[in-house]
Structure 1
Amino acid sequence: MFKGQYENHKIAWTGTDILFIILTTICMTILFNFLVTFLLDYLAHIMPQLLSYKRVIVNFLQFATMLTVSMYIILTKYNLSLKNLGFQVIDLKRIITLGVIGGFGICSMVMLVNLGVQKLIMDWWGIMIPSQPIISELMDTHSQLTFVVYASLIVIVAPITEEIFFRGLMYQYFKDKFGLIKGGFLAAGIFGILHFSLWSFLATFLGGLGLIILYEMSQSLYTSIIAHATWNFIIVTIIYVLRQVNGMV
């Protein structure tokens, strides 16, 4: 329906589409959290181990919602292809190299910034910053199976879903609307805000900028997906090692 109208334009979607995806994901996540909690509490007397999967299930449904609505906007509403999101391979070796090395670099930067912010806040106000929710949830998993399932969600599902929305849809829209610099900063800022962690906002914002730079360097969303997956994989690996050192199951 929209293909003839938009086929000569790089950006077809609008700010309303971006807002619709965000609001739908937030509202559905709240609903899923309520429904999953109710269902698992009901089943707890039969299979109490199911309670340990609550966050995994809710987060999976959250990512599924964001991905489904994003795909609807691109493939159905505007009748476009995944290439419009940046799914293209210009130089496979460069994509993989930039993705892996960039992911290590972004992860290192994010950890250093988080440690710096933590130290400053502790020195200035004597406040102990809580761990990011995802770190606490991984550390608190009660079995290796739960950890592996949650880790797979973080390393595979999250990077694909978030890159499609944040870099594929949102960043491209802001870049088209406000230019590369302003668009990049705005997209990275929203990326930081939507992770809902005040203390780690700066680090997440800088991580978002790093992923945008990698995307621009390769002109491929595959690069930012690989980098994001590498970043998350390193964090998950560190948490796994800490769990082993602490003697957790």
Structure 2
Amino acid sequence: MNKNISKTKLFIAFISLIITFFVWQQGLRDSLSRPSVSFDISQKEKEITELALPAIPINLRNLLIINDPIEDINNSLSEISFDQLTERNQLIWLISYTNNEINIKKEYPNTFDNKNYKLVVENLSKSNLDNSYKPNDNLLELFKDDRFLYHLLSKRFSFDESQLITDTLSKKMFLKIIAIRLLPLLTIVLGSLLVLRTLWSVLASRKIEWKEFKPLDLDLLDMVLLISGGFVVLGEVISPLFSITLVELVASNLSIELTQSLKIFFGYLFMAIPPLLIIYYQIKSFEKKIIFKKDYFQFNFLPIKDSFFQGFKGFLMIIPFVLLVSLIMNLLVDNQNGSNPLLEIVLNSNNYVSFVLLFLTTTFLAPIFEEVIFRGVLLPILSREFGIILGITISAFIFALAHLSIGEMIPLFTLGIGLGTTRFISGRLSSSVIMHSLWNGMTFLNLFLLRT
């Protein structure tokens, strides 16, 4: 290891640390103003339940439905200030509660940026003044892509909804409800059984079988330069200036959803370039020649079935722990703001190109890039310096911090512990990449299923 530390290197590391402190502090503070996506997820599940009602067998209704879904939605929305609701939830609240129960305030239409939503509010106002008023059928046509709003408007204005809200749709929504509730339950049961089996094995042998790991010939100062200088300063602060500018130049005529997705996709690509280049030059500093076929990060892909098996096993085993800490947080903290804004975009997007871009970002780009940085480079060096347990803990903490979300901090820290443990037990970075990809993919699939 190179012991010669230049003053320039120390100065750059010091400045990078200071900038990182302010960037992460501001990012975490800003996350407090972002609403939790868990409320919207809960609302979407109730919407799907309402649309699925005609297809749910009578003997399963008491099992799947506790209260009337519409009533549940209205009660949830009424507990939150109107100004704090999303535009779509504001509209749902107004449609549900303006049947001679409240008056439409004059300022309500002006609170909506969506012109279709604004048009609905104007028609609701006319209906309140005249019970016999019925909007033109064209109003319903505007919401063909949002089945739940279509259904609500049909009920509110006595439209015939049979053209779109069919038996086939209800059966599809019923299958969605089964999948949304059954898949997490199955993964929790399987994961818990694997955890118990592994704990029994560890207690019986009284040791954890860590595989040999090979850290790069770098030191902690190099890690400061990589994380603070590359990941934060160049990746999170400088790179977005280029990626956002690029997207805005080519996306002037694209939809808002597609533009948002392009910014996220290219933002991630541009963010990954500086830290990966820093790793390249750091390796070059102690290798006379970089051989790309050489497995510097211990990916150990082959045999691929072993990589996948270890990754899938780690994915199942971490689910009960993340669920447990999430439940504890829900009990201790009422309003957990700070969800990743990408989750809301996926949940409410109706553009399939946008979906593909977000899917590639969350299930391929993010797992590969983040695992190379946090478990491929950082974790082995921290473990060499402080021991495996502390190395896993510190790297998991930095991993959670880097996501800049107060509400997701503890679940992400728990996930980071699982990813680090899988990396060392399997002896393969590829296993933690697969585990990370499966985790993000499960989240993406759940959000996709919740769309109406």
Shift of the 77–55 alpha-carbon distance from structure 1 to 2, 3 Å rule, reads same
Instruction: Choose which of 271, 279, 285 in structure 2 pairs with 1:70.
Output: 279
Q: Which residue of 2 aligns with 1:30?
A: 237
Q: Counterpart in 1 of 2:218?
A: 13
Match of 2:311 among 73, 95, 99: 99
Residues 146-171 of structure 1 show CA distances to partners (whole Å, capped at 9, x for unaligned) of: 11111111101111111111011101
Q: Could you say which residue in structure 2 is the equivalent of 1:203?
A: 411
How far, CA to CA, are the matches of 2:402 and 2:325 in structure 1?
A: 18
Displacement of 1:130 in angstroms is 4.0
Tell me the distance in 2 between the aligned counterparts of 1:38 and 1:97.
41
Q: When the two structures are aligned, how many residues end up with a matched partner?
A: 232
Which structure 2 residues correspond to residues 1-249 of structure 1 after superposition, within 5 A? 10-22=215-227, 23-28=229-234, 29-43=236-250, 45-47=252-254, 51-52=259-260, 53-74=262-283, 76-79=284-287, 82-88=294-300, 92-122=304-334, 127-243=335-451, 247=452
Q: Which amino acid aligns with 2:403?
A: H
TM-score, normalization by structure 2: 0.47
Determine which structure has more spread, i.e. the larger CA radius of gyration: 2
CA distance in 1, matches of 2:355, 2:320: 23
SS of alignment partner, residue 84 of structure 1: coil
SS at the partner of 2:244? Answer: helix
> Separation in 1 of the partners of 2:249 and 2:299?
43
Q: Is the 8 A contact 2:367 2:433 kept in 1?
A: yes
Tell me how far 1:198 sits from its aligned partner.
Answer: 1.4
- Quick check: 1:70–1:164 contact (8 Å CA) kept in 2? no
Distance between the aligned counterparts of 1:212 and 1:19, measured in 2? 19
User: Higher mean Cα deviation, 28-37 or 168-177?
Assistant: 28-37
Q: Is the 8 A contact 2:392 2:420 kept in 1?
A: yes
Q: Is the 1:188–1:208 Cα contact (8 Å) retained in structure 2?
A: yes
Change (3 A) 1:89 1:120: same
Q: Do 1:118 and 1:129's aligned partners in 2 also have CA atoms closer than 8 Å?
A: no
Question: Is the deviation greater in 221-230 or in 97-106?
Answer: 97-106
User: Identity of paired residues, percent?
Assistant: 23
Q: Distance in 2 between matches of 1:197 and 1:15?
A: 25
Counterpart secondary structure, 1:83: coil
Change (3 A) 1:77 1:108: farther
**Counterparts of 2:361 and 2:274 in 1: how far apart (Å)?**
14
Q: Given that residues 339 and 407 in structure 2 are in contact (C-alpha distance below 8 angstroms), is that contact kept between their aligned partners in structure 1? A: no
User: Secondary structure at 1:85's aligned position in 2?
Assistant: coil
**Which of structures 1 and 2 has the larger relative contact order (alpha carbons within 8 angstroms, sep 6+)?**
1
Q: Residue deviations 1:182-226, cap 9 Å, x none?
A: 111111111111111112111111111111111111111111111
Q: Would you say the 8 A contact 1:106–1:231 is kept in 2?
A: no
Using a 3 Å threshold, how does the CA distance of structure 1 residues 154 and 67 change in structure 2: closer, same or farther? Answer: farther
CA distance in 2, matches of 1:93, 1:39: 40
Taking a change above 3 Å as real, the CA distance of residues 63 and 141 of structure 1, as seen in their structure-2 partners, is farther
Give the deviation of 1:37 after TM superposition: 3.5
- Higher normalized helix content (fraction of residues): 1
User: Is the partner of 2:364 in helix, strand or coil?
Assistant: helix
Aligned partner letter, 1:229: S
Which whole-Å CA distance do the structure 1 matches of 2:295 and 2:252 have between them?
48
**Within 2, Cα distance between the matches of 1:40 and 1:214?**
37
Per the TM alignment, residue 119 of structure 1 is displaced from its structure 2 partner at its CA by 3.8
Q: Is the 8 A contact 1:103 1:229 kept in 2?
A: no
Where does the alignment leave 5 or more consecutive residues of structure 1 unmatched?
3-8
